[in-house]
Amino acid sequence: MTMINDHFATIVSQEGESSAALLEDIASQVAACRRCPLCEGRTNVVPGFGNPEARVMLIGEAPGKNEDLQGKPFVGAAGKYLTELLGYAGLTREDVFIANVLKCRPPSNRNPQPSEIEICTPFLRDQVRAIGPEYLVTMGNFATKFILKTEQGITGLHGKPRTAGRFIVYPVFHPAAAIYDRTKRDALEADFAALGERLKQPRA
Ligand code: URA
């Protein structure tokens, strides 16, 4: 897919530039970013990783320790579980693109702060535009609240797809929150299985 688009906030997109090239440009900007204090504590930025042509883009909260060390999203325990969850939807990591609201690790994995979200999310918006996925799967409260512009919590929103512009937003529990909580685990696995059913329909 090629996209010609003048909405980019963090990069200048060239006419006909591919999704992969746009994502590389955004990743370079992320790597150079010093717009908030999180840059001081990072080992690596974690711009996101996956298929530039993905039909499904997953959005988490922020890198943790393993992600900071490796520069890739969801490579720790939550990531291992996420790979399993993708299987419930008939997907592999190669099929999807995974990103986070924040691109740098908050100290001691504390919650993202409103100022950090405001400063960092132009990168996420540009990634969404570059990929143009059909589904945005928001994992947990931070991604869901940011994408849906809602104050409603994930417990009431998960598994209920909503249209937002040209995307279908599909909120789910955060995998890390579900690892040790049987009830959330069941809900999360059912939500990924239901996503798999939806994906059997050809892209609209
Ligand atoms: N949790 C997240 O929200 N993102 C990651 O990349 C890893 C854990």
Per-residue model confidence as pLDDT tens digits over 133-161: 999 999 999 999 999 999 999 999 999 99
- Predicted confidence at residue 37, as pLDDT, reads 98
Q: Is the CB of 101 under 6 A from ligand 1?
A: no
Q: Is the CB of 67 under 6 A from ligand 1?
A: yes
**Residues 170-198, mean pLDDT to the nearest whole number:** 98
Q: Is the CB of 99 under 6 A from ligand 1?
A: no
Distance 103 CA to ligand 1 centre (A): 10
Residue 2 lies in a domain: no
Residue 45 lies in a domain: yes
Count of CB atoms situated within 10 Å of the CB of 83: 14
pTM of the model: 0.96
Residue 164 lies in a domain: yes
Both tokens of 202, joined, read 């050809």
The domain of 76 spans 18-199
Query: How far apart (Å, rounded) are the C-alpha atoms in residues 72 and 80?
Result: 13
Number of structural domains, the chain? 1
Query: How far apart (Å, rounded) are the C-alpha atoms in residues 35 and 153?
Result: 29
Say if residues 62 and 88 touch (Cβ distance below 8 Å): no
Q: For residue 29, is pLDDT > 80?
A: yes
Q: Which residues pair with 162 in a beta bridge?
A: 169
Both tokens of 47, joined, read 């711009």
Residue 37 lies in a domain: yes
Atom of ligand 1 nearest to the CA of 73: 6
Residue 82 lies in a domain: yes
Atom of ligand 1 nearest to the CA of 139: 3
Query: How far apart (Å, rounded) are the C-alpha atoms in residues 14 and 4?
Result: 7
Atom of ligand 1 nearest to the CA of 66: 7
- In terms of Cα–Cα distance, which of 76, 81, 93 is closest to 175? 81
Query: Measuring from atom 7 of ligand 1, which residue has the nearest CA?
Result: 74
Residue 9 lies in a domain: no
Atom of ligand 1 nearest to the CA of 61: 3
Burial class (CB in 10 A: 0-12, 13-18, 19+), 36: middle
Residue 1 lies in a domain: no
Residue 78 lies in a domain: yes
Q: Is the CB of 60 under 6 A from ligand 1?
A: yes
CATH of the domain at 165: 3.40.470.10
Distance 15 CA to ligand 1 centre (A): 33
Say if residues 100 and 59 touch (Cβ distance below 8 Å): yes
